[in-house]
Structure 1
Amino acid sequence: MNSLFSNEKLPPPPGIPIPGAVAAETAIPNPILIPKLEPFDGWLSSHRPEQQREEEESEQSQSQEANFSNGSIDIDLNLLCEQTPEDPNLLSEFNRISQLFCTAFSSTAAQNDGMASGLQQHLGLPDPDSRAIVAVPEEGRSSSMAVATTGRRRCKELVRVTDIGGPEHRQFRDVVRRTRMVYDSLRVLASVEDERRMDARRGRGDLRASAVMRSCGLWLNRDKRIVGAIPGVCIGDVFLYRMELCVVGLHGQPQAGIDYLPASMSSNGEPIATSVIVSGGYEDDVDEGDVIIYSGHGGQDKHSKQVFHQKLEGGNLAMERSMHYGIEVRVIRGVRYEGAASATGKLYVYDGLYRILECWFDVGKSGFGVYKYKLCRIDGQAKMGTLVLKEALMLRRDPLSSKPMYCLSLDISNRTENVGVRLFNDIDRNYDPLRYDYLVKTNFPQFVFHQSGRGTGCDCVDGCVEGCFCAIKNGGDLPYNQTGILLKGKPLIFECGPFCSCPPHCRNRVTQKGLKNRLEVFRSRETGWGVRSLDLIQAGAFICEYTGVVLTREQAELLTMNGDSLIYPNRFTDRWTEWGDLSMIDSNYVRPSYPSIPPLDFAMDVSRMRNVACYMSHSTTPNVLVQFVLYDHNNLMFPHLMLFAMENIPPMRELSLDYGVADEWTGKLSICN
């Protein structure tokens, strides 16, 4: 395999003093080199290492998450670690498309086809003669691909993904989406095990979930060190936990703020930085959005206060070398977010690619020498995710704070929902959603309630518990955790109803409580009308019901004689099977088949009465699933259509459903948009 770097040892650039000399002059003890850790990171901060050699820093920090767990996941997750992934479509497809990995800085390749110089000019990167990244021969690619299936050590091969077309981007996106869904499913199951513990000992579900996936070889982007954008990860994507960044390969350090290829793994002994996390917790950091003054690592105490001079080594040297070679870095911002599910109350938002323009050694606010780096965001990228979060926060506080002339209604539900549903159109004069009556709950015919008869409910006093009557109806387990997150998709869910003795706050009363996220119907050039949320919607969380007026088959046939404006529930694809699917980890996994329901033979008329769900657009890779639920009657033929998030959906990102196959007679999707 070709060398990653040229053999020439490049001297430090002029103007950057050597911190060792500064330390000697001031008679200050040499600092202890530690990774730049996330400030105030709760449990993790108390377990960070006191000293790490630069050569071991990368691999040690990647293996720490396997040892962070305070116990094991009792529901066979320990056994799952011993399984190998049986689904060939996830990693094999990822490895096939990975042949698109290629160089961007090799001067030899640039002389051959001009590709490197063209990309470099497009990104505005300096130093056209840089040899930090070189082409990878086919035999090298095949050997490195094996690392992807082990999920163990990260490879030293430094590459960039280029020439990604629409189909390849969708395939990469689907790989990332399914991987994150497995992670979230494991994390939610771990939370249930913590709830069952009788003692006060609680584990970290995020750490245990990542450890299981790593043991099963499901961590992505381990076969190559990717410079630049990670295929399948979009600007604005939100991650609730640091370990999820490691799982998808966006940032390979579970605690350190600088991720880099260590000098010990490069042929010429020079490290290269690939990504940084900016959390605003360090006294010498300055974050102005497009421009960041990022302070280096080393010399901080446990309170992130500078107590020693820093040295130009480890991640600090990697940042300087990336600046010298003109290699961009990924920037992930850690931001405080009200209602975040993580232990730290933070979200991690991918904000795109930045160039390191300057590096200097300066006296910090605490009086000690600090390395500083000026990062500038590369032009032509999508809007920063953290900026979108701020805009959504302003709209939540004041719905008329942005473009009030385009806000057609503050609440199209006319206060029938728990929270208002905003109507926004800055494209044309269309205001069709105001022409319909808003329907909060599905309108079932009266015979549905009569035929279901008087039901039998649980006799729980302070909420349902494992083994109660309603849990037995659901196959032995309650369908939600304590925070109302769906544990796994099922053919049908029985929630507590009017014949149950449990109180309104029972954990088995989730969807019947109605809308809680502030949704907005907006005009889109791509999808007509669409729906987005002003709040972050967590994976597995309930969104809203898909409502309409229920028609029998005979009624639907009469109505369609004058045109079809019906929704057919039996045509929605079984996306519920994907949520909680652990088949890639456990070869013996069987998707839930109980409780079962007969084929649905009814339609929903939305021509006059509808709710916000009717404006969700169609997608073959949706972020919302349909889950059938019963709570106010027991007629299996007529369930409610409840919508849940399949992934963490950031504010202002469009919600989408898979409406299923087209009708064989009309050729239309079951969509009213």
Structure 2
Amino acid sequence: MGSIVPFQDLNLLPSPFCTNPTTTLLTPKIEPKAEPLDEPIHTHQFEFHHNTPGPFNSSSTIAFFPNSQNTPVPEPNFDQDNVFSEYYRISELFRSAFDKRLQQQYGDVEALDPDSRAIVSVNQDNQLSTAVVSRRKYDKRSSDLVRVQDLGMDDQKYFRDVVRKTRMLYDSLRIISVDEEEKRRGLGQGRRARGDLTAASMMRDNGLWLNRDKRIVGPIPGINIGDLFFFRMEMCVIGLHGQAQAGIDYLPGSQSVNGEPIATSIIVSGGYEDDEDSGDVIVYTGHGGQDKFNRQCEHQRLEGGNLALERSMHYGIEIRVIRGIKKYEGSVSSKVYVYDGLYKIHDCWFDVGKSGFGVYKFRLLRIDGQPEMGSTTLKFAETLRTRPLSVRPKGYLSLDISMKKEPMPVLCFNDIDNDHDPLYYEYLAKTVFPSFVYNLGSTGAGCGCVSGCTYGCLCAMKNGGEFAYDNNGSLLRGKPVIFECGPFCQCPPNCRNRVSQKGSRHRLEVFKSREAGWALRSLDLIHAGDFICEYTGVVLTMEQAQIFAMNGENLVYPNRFSAKWAEWGDLSQVLSDYIPPSYPSIPPLDFAMDVSRMRNAACYISHSATPNVLVQFVLYDHNNLMFPHIMLFAMEHIPPMRELSLDYGVADEWTGKLAICNE
């Protein structure tokens, strides 16, 4: 078990930059280094509906302190540890829209989850002590500084799963709330809904924000270098960077044990004229002295976040660095944020900036021995998408093993050995079903929505009265099976209910790695809820499968895939009356898929108990519930070049993959 230890006591040595440290520490100026917003904030109020629900796995736990739901949200303490004025204004408006509904739904439940795994202090024997945690409001962040160290593999998997589930709930809330707002007022009518603020507000009111009970110095358990975020509030929810807009996250001196502020993370976005970023080396400009247009108009002072960075340099405290990249291809927001690891501040000085005013500058160096920066991988993938041979002249076996059968090319890369295995199979873009499947259960009936499907049409009714996707093609809620519009429907190809049948929208790459053998990744950024591709093969009845298995053929059994679809869109932690989706129901799948000679790129996806891809069963070209298509969707934001993983239910005990991937 890893250790979560209190941060060391800091001595009271005065800063070499302070001529009057006592005065500066007692009266810090609350003036954050404001970062440009993801997009202009506009407030909307709307009623949140839920028709088809689904709870989290009861055996899974999330590290948080649940709060009481029958007490009003207290006024926030607007001190320098929580610069949330704009966020709080917005969240209160959203909260007021939900207040009546929340009061009707929630009671004063005081039960404590015995498996909450709350972060606790360390006793004298350096062992984690047991904590009894009571429900409380998340009105402010803790002032306790701790560092997490020596986490074992089981601990790393646990915290990664906690973060994954929290982010999945956040993205589900964000997507569903925007869809509900567009449904209420009409698509394209009025200003764009801020689902990121709505999701964060609801999770905060339900005590679902992570890492609020302790302030973590250094890496956050469960967050990996290269993880992507599209919204500032998402980073607040998981505790990576606790400021809604400020670029410097720090513990103020008023809360510190020794009265000195300590910085823990910064966001580098390139939006300030005196910043310099060359990757491993950053010259970061302090905050203060700017007007409302982010123009420097007066000298900066060594206080607030500036003093916190200087003190962190003095004590040798590492800083988490998140980079904001503007207008990255495929991003759902104006920026994409990527966690790039830990840096140390090596120098600090007062200089004349480009504007002619004095600014504080901090020179940060990246700590050695960490994985490659996520921002570097993003830039590399961007080049690969347009000029693959220019950056990787050797190793490509094919620039499209699908031979144009897919909407986007599927590359095949191996610079490890001479294995050409993926080239020896016929690429199968769509699953091959027995002919009788199209005769049994096919009614020939379809919707008559000539201009595109609307709520209340036949296909919506087949899905329980709602659509499975939003207007961007993202999965709203996982269901036992989804009915997409098919060949008998009169709606156009761009209908919102035609998503997975169109094929992959992402540039996939089958590649050979030293650790995992053949695997699959994307050159594109994949959003949580996005369709990735179909898992294809030749469908066999169980009688046929028994014969093929005796001949040593490679078979996949769809009934063994874990039901991760039930976790996507599950709002049981924020809505007490949320019911698991059960309609349309699907019988046990009594068939196998032969992928011995005909397959697609999905067959090379790795197995994982904590996957980033889920299986969703879909019907569109026939209505036989016993033979659905196996469609794959992203459970989380998947950065370019990150390996895709799937829970097969049963995998090879030695390799952690299906045997077909390692022949």
Q: Normalising TM by the smaller chain, what interval?
A: 0.7 to 0.9
Q: 1:621: which partner in 2?
A: 610
1:489 aligns to what SS in structure 2? coil
Give the equivalent residue in structure 2 for 1:67: 89
Query: Is 2:265 the partner of 1:272?
Result: no
457-466 or 385-394, which deviates more: 457-466
Matched ranges for 1:344-355 at <5 A: 345-355=334-344
Amino acid paired to 1:435: Y
Flag the 1:489–1:637 CA change in 2: closer, same or farther, 3 A: same
Structure-2 separation of matches of 1:282 and 1:86: 47
Q: Does the Cα contact within 8 Å between 2:82 and 2:140 map onto a contact in 1? A: no
Which region of structure 1 is more displaced relative to structure 2, 189-198 or 602-611?
Answer: 189-198
Residue 185 of structure 1 aligns to a residue whose secondary structure is helix
Cα distance in 1 for partners of 2:451, 2:110 equals: 42
Matched, 1:511 2:533: no
Counterpart residue number, 2:149: 162
Give the corresponding residue for 1:38. Answer: 35
Residue 454 of structure 1: how far off its partner (Å): 3.5
- Would the aligned equivalents of 1:286 and 1:292 in 2 still touch at CA under 8 Å? yes
What one-letter code is carried by the residue in structure 2 that aligns with 1:228?
A: G
Q: Offset at 1:600?
A: 0.8
Match of 1:220 in 2: 210
Give me the whole-angstrom Cα distance separating, in 2, the residues matched to 1:78 and 1:288: 51
Q: CA deviation at 1:167?
A: 0.6
Query: Conserved in 2, the CA contact under 8 Å of 1:419 and 1:517?
Result: yes
1:210 paired to 2:200: yes
Deviates more, 1:347-356 or 1:261-270: 261-270
Distance 1:444 1:224 in 2: 54
Paired residue type of 1:293: V
Q: 1:315 is matched by which residue type in structure 2?
A: G
Change (3 A) 1:79 1:455: same
Name the residue aligned to 2:60.
none
- Secondary structure at the aligned position of 2:362 is classed as strand
1:254 maps onto 2:241 in alignment: no
What letter is aligned with 1:603?
A
Residues 1:559 and 2:556 aligned together: no
Q: Kindly indicate whether residue 308 of structure 2 is the aligned counterpart of residue 305 of structure 1.
A: no
Per the TM alignment, residue 528 of structure 1 is displaced from its structure 2 partner at its CA by: 1.4
CA distance in 1, matches of 2:10, 2:591: 71
Distance 1:170 1:452, change over 3 A: same
SS at 2:562 equivalent: coil
* Aligned position for 1:637: 626
How far, CA to CA, are the matches of 2:107 and 2:550 in structure 1?
A: 53
**2:272 corresponds to 1:285:** no
Alignment partners' CA distance in 2, 1:316 and 1:91? 41
CA distance in 2, matches of 1:87, 1:425: 56
Kindly indicate whether residue 332 of structure 2 is the aligned counterpart of residue 332 of structure 1: no
Distance 1:80 1:513 in 2: 40
List per-residue Cα deviations over 1:435-476 (Å, max 9, x = no partner): 000000001111111223342111112211111111111001
- 1:653 and 2:650 are equivalent in the alignment: no
Aligned residue for 1:490, secondary structure, equals coil
* One-letter identity of the residue aligned with 1:397: T
Change (3 A) 1:667 1:645: closer
Q: Aligned partner of 1:214: which letter?
A: R
The partner residue of 2:483 within 494, 510, 516 is 494
Structure 1 equivalent of residue 230 of structure 2: 240
Structure 1 counterpart of 2:449, from 460, 475, 493 = 460
Alignment of 1:384-395 (within 5 A): 384-395=373-384
Normalized per residue, the structure richer in helix is 1
Per the alignment, in what secondary structure is the counterpart of residue 213 of structure 1? helix
Distance 1:566 1:314, change over 3 A: same
Change (3 A) 1:184 1:154: same
The 3 A distance-change label for structure 1 pair 44 and 621 is same
In the aligned structure 2, how far is the partner of 1:560 from the partner of 1:668? Answer: 20
Aligned-residue offset at 1:360: 0.5
1:592 paired to 2:581: yes
**Contact 2:328–2:336 (CA<8 Å) still a contact in 1?**
no
Cα 1:605/1:645, change in 2 over 3 Å: same
Q: Which digits, 9 at most, give the CA deviation of each residue in 1:526-576, with x for residues without a partner?
A: 221100000000000000000001111111111111114001111111010
Q: Quick one: distance in 1 between partners of 2:613 and 2:94? A: 31
Closer, same or farther in 2 for the Cα pair 1:90/1:295, shift >3 Å? farther
CA distance in structure 2 between the partners assigned to 1:6 and 1:382 by the alignment: 30
Shift of 1:9: 3.4
- Higher mean C-alpha deviation, range 465-474 or range 286-295: 465-474
| Cα gap change, 1:327 to 1:340, in 2 (>3 Å) | same
The amino acid of 1:38's aligned partner reads E
Cα pair 2:146 2:215 within 8 Å, conserved: yes
User: Does the alignment pair 1:179 with 2:166?
Assistant: yes
Q: Does 1:672 align with 2:656?
A: no
Which residue identity does 1:193 align to in structure 2? E
- 1:418 aligned counterpart, secondary structure: coil
2:145–2:215 contact (8 Å) kept in structure 1: yes
> Alpha carbons of 1:365 and 1:45: their partners in 2 closer, same or farther (altered >3 Å)?
farther
2:569 is aligned to 580
Displacement, 1:63?
Answer: 6.3
Moved more, 544-553 or 523-532: 523-532
Say if 1:85 and 1:583, in contact at 8 Å, map to a contact too: no
Distance 1:3 1:488, change over 3 A: closer
- CA offsets 1:19-48 (integer angstroms, 9 cap, x no match): 9x9xxxxxxxxx9852111136432599xx
CA deviation string 1:71-104 (max 9, x = no partner): 6499979745874899999994441xx34x669x
2:425 and 2:113 mapped to 1: Cα distance?
43
Q: Secondary structure at the match of 1:560?
A: helix
Alignment partner of 2:190: what SS?
Answer: coil
Specify the alignment match of 1:397 in structure 2. Answer: 386
Q: Evaluate the alpha carbon distance shift between residue 362 and residue 663 of structure 1 in structure 2; reply closer, same or farther with a 3 A threshold.
A: closer
Residue 3 of structure 1 and its aligned partner are, at CA, apart by 10
- The correspondence of residues 351-366 of structure 1 with structure 2, limited to 5 A, is 351-366=340-355
- Separation in 1, partners of 2:39, 2:290: 17
Counterpart-to-counterpart distance in 1, 2:112 and 2:158: 10
Between the aligned partners of 2:169 and 2:514, the Cα distance in structure 1 is 33
The alpha-carbon distance between structure 1 residues 667 and 243, as it changes in their structure 2 partners (threshold 3 A), is: closer
Among 515, 529, 537, which residue is 2:518 paired with?
529
CA, structure 1 residues 420+522, in 2 after alignment: closer, same or farther (shift >3 Å)? Answer: same
**Residue 602 in structure 1 maps to residue 624 in structure 2:** no
Say whether residues 1:263 and 2:266 are aligned partners: no
Contact 2:553 2:594 in 1 (8 A): no
2: CA distance, partners of 1:581 / 1:89 = 21
1:421-460 alignment to 2 at 5 Å? 421-460=410-449
State the alpha-carbon separation in 2 of the partners of residues 375 and 174 from structure 1: 31
Unaligned stretches of 5+ residues in structure 2: 44-76
Instruction: Provide the rounded CA distance (Å) in 2 between the counterparts of 1:248 and 1:37.
Output: 20
1:621 Cα deviation after fit: 0.5
**Does 1:13 find its partner at 2:22?**
no
User: 381-390 or 86-95: which moved more?
Assistant: 86-95
Return the letter of the residue paired with 2:608: S
Which residue identity lines up with residue 352 of structure 2 in the other structure? V
Q: Judging changes above 3 Å, is the alpha-carbon distance between structure 1 residues 482 and 84 closer, same or farther for their aligned structure 2 residues? A: farther
* Distance in 1 separating the partners of 2:183 and 2:399: 43
> CA, structure 1 residues 596+287, in 2 after alignment: closer, same or farther (shift >3 Å)?
same
Q: Which amino acid aligns with 1:381?
A: Q
For 1:187 and 1:660, how far apart are their aligned partners in 2?
29
> What residue number does 1:471 align with?
460
1:87–1:636 Cα change, 3 Å: farther
Contact 1:326–1:356 (CA under 8 A) maintained in structure 2:
yes
The equivalent of 1:24 in structure 2 is none
In 1, Cα distance between equivalents of 2:557 and 2:109: 34
The verdict on how the C-alpha distance between 1:587 and 1:40 changes in structure 2, with shifts beyond 3 A counting, is closer
Deviation at 1:525, TM superposition (A): 2.2
Match of 2:139 among 152, 160, 166: 152
Structure 1 residue 502 displacement after superposition: 0.6
Distance 2:446 2:160 in 1: 43
Q: Distance in 1 between matches of 2:351 and 2:254?
A: 28
CA distance in 2, matches of 1:240, 1:500: 36
Change (3 A) 1:201 1:391: closer
